[in-house]
Amino acid sequence: MPVTYKSFSNPDDINLKMASEHQTGQTQNGNPFRGMGKEELLRHSSKPLWVRLRMICVAIILIAWLALIITVVALIFAYPKCKDKDSRSWWQNDVMYRIHVRSFYDSNDDGIGDLKGVHQKLDYIKDMGAGAISLSPIYSMDATKDDLSVKDHKLIDPDFGTLQDLKDLIKAVHDKGMRIVLDFIPNHTSDKHPWFLGSMDAGNIQYKNYYVWSSQITNWNSVYGNSSWEMDSTRNEYYLHQFKTDQPDLNIRSAMVVNELKDIMEYLMVTENVDGLFMRNSGYLFEDYDMRNETVSNTAGVTEDKYDYYNHEYTYGLESNRLLMSMFREVADNTSSKFLMADRRGTTTEKIQYYGSFPGSGVHISLNPIGMAPCSGNCIKDYVMDWVDNFSNNKWPNWMTGGEDMSRFASRFPANFSRPFYMLSMLLPGTPIIYYGDEIGMTDLKATTEHVTTGLMQWENSTNAGWNCTNDCYNGVNSDFSTINVAAQMNKAGSLYEFIKGLSSLRTEDAFRYGEYHTAVTSNNIFSFVREFDGVTGYLVAINFGDNAETHDYTSSHGTIQSTATAVKTTGSDVGFSVDDDVETESLRLSPLQGIVVSWDFKAKEL
């Protein structure tokens, strides 16, 4: 049947009839609240049941919001934070290049390396990847021309140039974004120093106690053998010299001497604007106050006149030395936060004491010269972890592969050991310190028994390896300079120079500059580690220091290592990988003295 609609043309025709409240409350399927008026709703909503229900709902909502806020805050604190990329200083990031100035480069053909020579070779140093240079002593010295026989720390020896040459070098270094560190010798001076000339006169009140004088002597021996005491006929007393007889020891217990040393430091760091100082021979600064004789070491084959015949508990490494380093650090911190490093032979624990008991109470770097013999993976692990385990903000590791006081790296280790060890030392946390010439594989001089570690830098295959000496050259060169020279290795793929340059470039990546360190696979042959930083490429460095090939699954040693990684650098073509090759880290094989660096893209950590 069709539906019909009634139309209303006049609104007045519409007649709506509302049921009364009473009728509504008793009808509509028995629902007593349907169609309640405002007063009725307010009356029912005020009942205790509904009040409690509303309060419970509000409480649930508030608790839920509070829980959400707490969860968000907890997630913020729980999720790994990105590290501040500016938290490291230049001396932690830069490769340091140690230069024996006399042997480096001669700018005026007089046979002696000089400051202008260093200036002229800054581009070479920077190209290699070094960001800081450390210079041997350049100060006014006596006629012996021993670098440690200083007459005045505020004057430049004419052999090296002028004070203006130093100023020009410092400016050039800074213009290139580099840093410069000078040697500082606080233990002794030349016997021609004005202080010692004044101290020889016992009636000279100002300088009388600037040096260690005594009317009686002990059994202490000099580093060079025989007694470390020398009679001075002018004063009619003995003076102490732990090194050569013409290098008398300063009396560091004198406040006047310490103030003089502080003044020199401030002059070099403020007036000349050098970036840091290297405290040379810092272990000898203090001697036993009671002048006790040292005990016999019982070292086999050592005669009584030799330094090693005695233990040196009263003349080396005294606790007072560490306290003096703390005083020197205060001077450095008060001069625009300059840098200090010091040498101290002994165990790792003894060297680390120079860092101080808390941040800012010692030197920035206590030198760690590599003095061990070639050894296997576990041996390398013990050596590395001895330093890395002590790593903290005020105990920064360093890896010093050479210096004037030790045989050259290529003379201490087999040729095929160099690349694996440089790969290790350049990519570990810490500051690498490379001795001039080691980057091309120079060895100790073979034609002499003196100054064997300070042979002339071998620049090219020409007479005297590129030195045009009008007079006699300061030192000699080895016969291998025809192949072991800078010109032959620069820009030559596969050369040691280019290998070290590549490592210097790699360590500028964030993972190496700021990243975390984690030991990975270690064995009797293998030592490996991971360097990674939030949001950037991660790296695995794996090196076989042993005598046998080994295959390992590296992914099981650290959670972020990917099963397929990319080859970044190897110790040589014999490793079997080229740059950008895929490397299966679940079954990576390395033969003896082979090393590889592989990388993978960052993956966010799961909570």
CATH number of the domain bearing residue 295: 3.90.400.10
Provide the pLDDT for residue 359: 81
Distance CA 459, CA 488 (A): 9
Phi and psi for 237 in degrees, rounded to 5? -140, 165
The stretches in the chain having pLDDT less than 50 are 1, 3-5, 7-8, 11, 14, 16-28
Contact between 404 and 439 under an 8 Å Cβ cutoff? The reply is no
> In Å, how far from its chain's centre is CA 128?
18
Strand order in the sheet with 213-214: 213-214, 237-240, 229-232
Q: Give the CATH number, domain containing residue 589.
A: 2.60.40.1180
- Per the domain annotation, does 171 fall within a domain? no
246-281 burial: b if 16+ Cβ within 10 Å, else e: bbbbbbbebeebbebbbebbeebbeeebbbbbbbbb
Predicted confidence (pLDDT) per residue in 204-246, tens digit: 999 999 999 999 999 999 999 999 999 999 999 999 999 999 9
Which pair of tokens denotes residue 111? 């046979």
- Per the domain annotation, does 461 fall within a domain? no
Provide the pLDDT for residue 28: 46
- Per the domain annotation, does 197 fall within a domain? yes
Distance CA 421, CA 432 (A): 11
Which pair of tokens denotes residue 9? 């043309």
> Structural domain of residue 590, as residue ranges?
510-600
Distance CA 238, CA 415 (A): 48
- Per the domain annotation, does 9 fall within a domain? no
Distance CA 328, CA 401 (A): 26
> Looking at the chain, how many residues does it have?
607
For residue 48, give the 3-state DSSP assignment. Answer: helix
Phi and psi for 319 in degrees, rounded to 5? -60, -30
- C-alpha separations of 571 from 384, 400, 498, 539 in Å: 20, 20, 11, 16
- Per the domain annotation, does 371 fall within a domain? no
Distance CA 506, CA 253 (A): 46
Distance CA 217, CA 228 (A): 9
- Per the domain annotation, does 552 fall within a domain? yes
Predicted TM-score of the model (pTM) = 0.86
Distance CA 250, CA 261 (A): 10
- Region of 294 (left: φ > 0; alpha: ψ -120 to 50; beta: rest) is beta
| H/E segment holding residue 152 | strand 150-156
| H/E segment holding residue 43 | helix 38-45
Rg, C-alpha atoms of the chain: 37
> Given CA atoms 435, 437, 440, 442 in this order, what sign does their dihedral have?
negative
Distance CA 585, CA 528 (A): 12
CA atoms within 13 A on the CB side of 482: 2
Which pair of tokens denotes residue 399? 């890896």
Which pair of tokens denotes residue 379? 């041996």
For residue 519, give the 3-state DSSP assignment. Answer: strand
Number of domains in the chain: 2
Contact between 588 and 551 under an 8 Å Cβ cutoff? The reply is yes
Contact between 257 and 211 under an 8 Å Cβ cutoff? The reply is no
> What would the DSSP string read from start to end of 426-458?
HHSSSEEEEETTGGGT----SS-SSSTT-PPP-
- Per the domain annotation, does 106 fall within a domain? no
CA-wise closest residue to 409 among 397, 398, 426, 422: 422
Residues paired with 340 in a beta bridge: 277
Distance CA 447, CA 539 (A): 44
| H/E segment holding residue 264 | helix 255-266
What single-letter DSSP state applies at residue 375? -
- Per the domain annotation, does 572 fall within a domain? yes
Contact between 590 and 542 under an 8 Å Cβ cutoff? The reply is yes
Distance CA 460, CA 483 (A): 8
For residue 515, give the 3-state DSSP assignment. Answer: coil
With a CB cutoff of 8 Å and minimum separation 6, the contacts of 76 are none
Distance CA 111, CA 29 (A): 118
Predicted confidence (pLDDT) per residue in 384-418, tens digit: 988 888 776 578 999 999 999 999 999 999 989 99
- Burial of residue 26, with CB atoms counted within 10 A of its CB: 0-12 exposed, 13-18 middle, 19 or more buried: exposed
Four-CA torsion 26, 27, 31, 33, nearest 10 degrees: -60
Locus of tokens 């110790």: 571
467-477 burial: b if 16+ Cβ within 10 Å, else e: beeeeebbbbb
Of 292, 317, 338, the residue that ends a domain is 338
Of 321, 338, 355, the residue that ends a domain is 338
| Helical residues (DSSP H) of 288-417, grouped into ranges | 319-333, 348-352, 377-388, 409-412
